[in-house]
Amino acid sequence: MHYYIKIKNHNSANEHNFAIFAHLQIAIRLLMKKIFTILIFAGISLSAFAQLNIDQYFYIGRSRIYFGNYVSAIENLNIVIKLRPNLPEPYFFRGMAKHYIDDYRGAKNDYDKAIDIKPFYPEAYMYRGMANYELKNYKEALSDYTKALEYKSDDQAIYTNRGITKAALEDLPGAIDDYTKALEIDPLQANTFLNRSSAKQMKNDLDGAIKDCDEAIKIRPHYASAYLMRGIAKFEKQDYASALKDYDLCIRLDPKMAQAFANRGIVKHKLDDTRGAIPDYDMAIKLNPEIAVAWLNRGIAKESLKIPGFEADFAVAEQLDPKFAQYRKRLDAEQEKEKQRRLYGFVLPAANQKSQNKNGQNKPANANQQNQQANANQQNLSVGSGGTTSQANALAQNNPNSGAATDSTAVEQENNKGPVTQKRARRNIIVNNGGEVTETEIARGMVQNRNVKIELKPEFIISIFHKDSVDYQRLQYYSMEVDALNRKNNNQPFMLITNKPVKNDDWRSEEYNDNVSLWDKKIQNNKKNPDAYFNRAIYYELLKNYNQAIEDYNRTIKIDGRNVLAYFSRANAMTKRVDFIRMPGLLPEPTTLNINGVKASPDAPKEEKILDYEDIIKDYESILYMNPRFIFAWYNMGNTKVKKKDYLGAINDYSKAIELEPDFAEAYFNRGLTRIYLDDMEGGSLDLSKAGELGLTDAYNVIKRYCN
């Protein structure tokens, strides 16, 4: 039987015993796993062990949530779930912890389990509704809140959340009714007044919206969000002076509220104080660089004042929100037309106009008519409130490939120099109990695809753990094969299997060269010793001399054809060599390189092998033929197939590694990223959630970036 045990980080050890210390820790954890298994099968009560006090772990987990240490909460609740998988509460609270770090699919998965165990669990239904809302599964969220109210009909929070969901579904009367019921239960909830105000604004009941904001201010006179919401309502009434005062008050009460600065900038922009608007846009962007409309309007303001940098602002706005691409395209189109006017005295017909002219359709009688038509088209690109076509929509209609998948009708602009505003009826603005304001755009139409950059966790390799090292994070997994090698070498050097590089080891190059010389002498004494070649190859790899390392691995395999670690290390060295050669700038032309790194002449036979991953995969397959349970070969082969763009094959390999080692965090992480790349958002985010559960906390950043 092969054991691959995840090793926790260590904090201290005597410097001269680091290698032995690490070896003992690995062995102890292996022994503990065996003892734990025996106890379970023997039916011995685990409560006899003080360190396995379930209530203590559960209490710590809940406390960590309260104090905002969500990753630690998940770690403690994992222990409770492992020991008592039939308790609903640990799943519920672990779901809460995931929820707070924006892992909504992972949270939903835990709420599902809690509800399966305990069907009468209103809190779990409510939180699952919240997760579904964040995932834009509004109908499922609505069903969850309704179910929660069956069991707990006097909970104002559930009514409030259901109202928010109904607003997202554009059931504004239903949303207002739910907010009203929540206020009947607890009339002192200022944020519920603000959420009802938001629904009334969407319904264009602006006077009613302002009254709700006034009520919220009576309850909490220093509530910055209330002034923000009232300012928005007054802006919609075109009472710009009053809106400006409310935004001033909001900023005075909360100088870090980016939305208030962005909105105040828009008001100043509307009032023709374009130069005064720019500092507000600057501050909004500084506080929250992801407010696309602030970038866009700052670009418009700069363009109107002929201040450099507006093109860059348009580019960032487009990157943050694809519908704003139309404004950059409008700028490009206007600049092109102006150039044509200067050169020819008139605007040339667009490509689609040319094709129509060829067919004899819509052909202008003369250049004069052509100019009139161009001017008419330009007028249609401006956005007015009196029934004219919106700028973005006109562009989408004129060019079917210009991004019509985005919901371009959600924005308005009075003229090319004025600010862009988003239609209030399409913005579900929510205020939570803490006064935090969030906004969800109600989209009609397709959502544009996002580019996913795959940054896989790297391959596992055989490397060295130095006696003077304190980099204990590299002690990740135990492998019996590596343990056998260490015993054979008497821990000189101490080998480990890791996917974390040696940090700042450039100064060790002299030490590595000395060790190469040492193994040279041993090889001279016995040229049939496979271990000597293998150990020398490890040092060549550390020196990034991959060709020499591969040559030594070849000799090892020639002497010992069943040396799993030699095949494994040779595959890894070849991977590093290929990756190095494929680095940007190293292949300036589409020519191949020979083994020595010299560019081949056009007539010379090309050495494709060095730039191919097939030999690497063959080595991993050889390992798995000899030892099908060597999880690191499955994992590394998955990484190699991703590089070959064989994504389905990679997923199968990661899945096999996970089947053999259910706590293989890196395999979950890489499988999750690959699934997201293939547009399996659900499966990918659940894999990343599991990776986060198992300690790879950067998985949560990926979830937030790509999955929500």
In a domain, 482, yes or no: yes
CA-to-CA distance for 563 and 339, rounded, in angstroms? 70
573-593 pLDDT, tens per residue? 999 888 877 765 444 433 332
- The whole-number average pLDDT for the span 41-56 is 55
From 387, 407, 441, give the residue that closes a domain. 441
pLDDT band, residue 442 (cuts 50/70/90): low
Res 352 pLDDT > 90: no
Res 612 pLDDT > 90: no
Res 566 pLDDT > 70: yes
- Give 298's Cβ-side CA count (13 Å radius): 26
Instruction: Name the more confident of 571 and 466.
Output: 571
Q: What is the per-residue pLDDT for 542?
A: 86
Q: What is the per-residue pLDDT for 707?
A: 77
From 408, 441, 474, give the residue that closes a domain. 441
In a domain, 108, yes or no: no
Instruction: Name the more confident of 470 and 96.
Output: 96
pLDDT band, residue 609 (cuts 50/70/90): very low
643-655 pLDDT, tens per residue? 888 999 999 999 9
Please tell me whether residues 429 and 472 are part of one structural domain.
Answer: no
In a domain, 468, yes or no: yes
Res 45 pLDDT > 90: no
Q: What is the per-residue pLDDT for 407?
A: 42
Please tell me whether residues 591 and 560 are part of one structural domain.
Answer: yes
Q: What is the per-residue pLDDT for 167?
A: 93
355-398 pLDDT, tens per residue? 444 444 444 344 344 334 333 333 332 222 333 333 333 222 23
Cis before 493 (ω within 30): yes
Please tell me whether residues 507 and 476 are part of one structural domain.
Answer: yes
Q: Among 130-139, 177-186, 319-328, whose mean pLDDT is lowest? A: 319-328
Instruction: Name the more confident of 22 and 515.
Output: 515
Q: What is the per-residue pLDDT for 195?
A: 94
pLDDT band, residue 53 (cuts 50/70/90): confident
CA-to-CA distance for 206 and 651, rounded, in angstroms? 53
pLDDT band, residue 572 (cuts 50/70/90): very high
Please tell me whether residues 572 and 433 are part of one structural domain.
Answer: no
Please tell me whether residues 425 and 535 are part of one structural domain.
Answer: no
The strand pair at 437-441 and 427-431 is best described as antiparallel
Three-class SS of residue 221?
A: coil
Percentage of the chain exceeding pLDDT 70: 71
Res 449 pLDDT > 50: no
Q: What is the per-residue pLDDT for 379?
A: 31
Q: What is the per-residue pLDDT for 360?
A: 44
Q: What is the per-residue pLDDT for 417?
A: 65
SS3 content of the chain, % helix, strand, coil (to 5): 65, 5, 30
In a domain, 54, yes or no: no
Please tell me whether residues 208 and 317 are part of one structural domain.
Answer: yes
Please tell me whether residues 575 and 634 are part of one structural domain.
Answer: yes
CA dihedral (390, 393, 399, 400) in degrees, to 10, reads -170
Res 411 pLDDT > 70: no
Q: Please tell me the total count of domains within the chain.
A: 2
Instruction: Please name the helix (run of DSSP H) or strand (run of DSSP E) that holds residue 185, with its range, or none.
Output: helix 172-185
Please tell me whether residues 485 and 577 are part of one structural domain.
Answer: yes
Q: What is the per-residue pLDDT for 473?
A: 66
Please tell me whether residues 530 and 423 are part of one structural domain.
Answer: no
Q: Which residues pair with 439 in a beta bridge?
A: 429
Res 409 pLDDT > 90: no
From 409, 441, 473, give the residue that closes a domain. 441
Please tell me whether residues 592 and 501 are part of one structural domain.
Answer: yes
Tokens of 343: 């050169």
Please tell me whether residues 432 and 515 are part of one structural domain.
Answer: no
286-340 pLDDT, tens per residue? 999 989 899 999 999 998 899 999 889 988 988 888 877 776 676 677 667 666 6
Q: Among 77-86, 101-110, 195-204, 610-619, whose mean pLDDT is lowest? A: 610-619
In a domain, 432, yes or no: yes
Q: What is the largest CA-CA distance in the chain?
A: 97
pLDDT band, residue 623 (cuts 50/70/90): very high
Res 416 pLDDT > 70: no
Instruction: Name the more confident of 113 and 612.
Output: 113
Go through the chain and tell me how many residues it has: 708
Q: Among 13-27, 64-78, 516-530, 687-701, whose mean pLDDT is lowest? A: 13-27
Q: Which residues pair with 413 in a beta bridge?
A: 420
Three-class SS of residue 609?
A: helix
Mean pLDDT of the chain: 78
207, exposed or middle or buried, with CB in 10 Å at 0-12, 13-18, 19+? exposed
Q: Among 20-24, 352-356, 500-504, 636-640, whose mean pLDDT is lowest? A: 352-356
Please tell me whether residues 530 and 645 are part of one structural domain.
Answer: yes
What is the CATH number for 541? Answer: 1.25.40.10
- Check residue 296 and report its DSSP letter: H
- The whole-number average pLDDT for the span 401-425 is 57
In a domain, 702, yes or no: yes
Q: What is the per-residue pLDDT for 196?
A: 96
Of 557, 570, 564, residue with least CA distance to 616:
570
Q: What is the pTM of this model?
A: 0.69
DSSP readout, 434-453?
T--EEEEE---SPPPPPP--
Res 72 pLDDT > 70: yes
In a domain, 327, yes or no: yes
In a domain, 73, yes or no: no
Q: What is the per-residue pLDDT for 505?
A: 67
Host domain of residue 264: 186-345+417-441
Q: Among 31-45, 241-255, 288-302, 379-393, whose mean pLDDT is lowest? A: 379-393
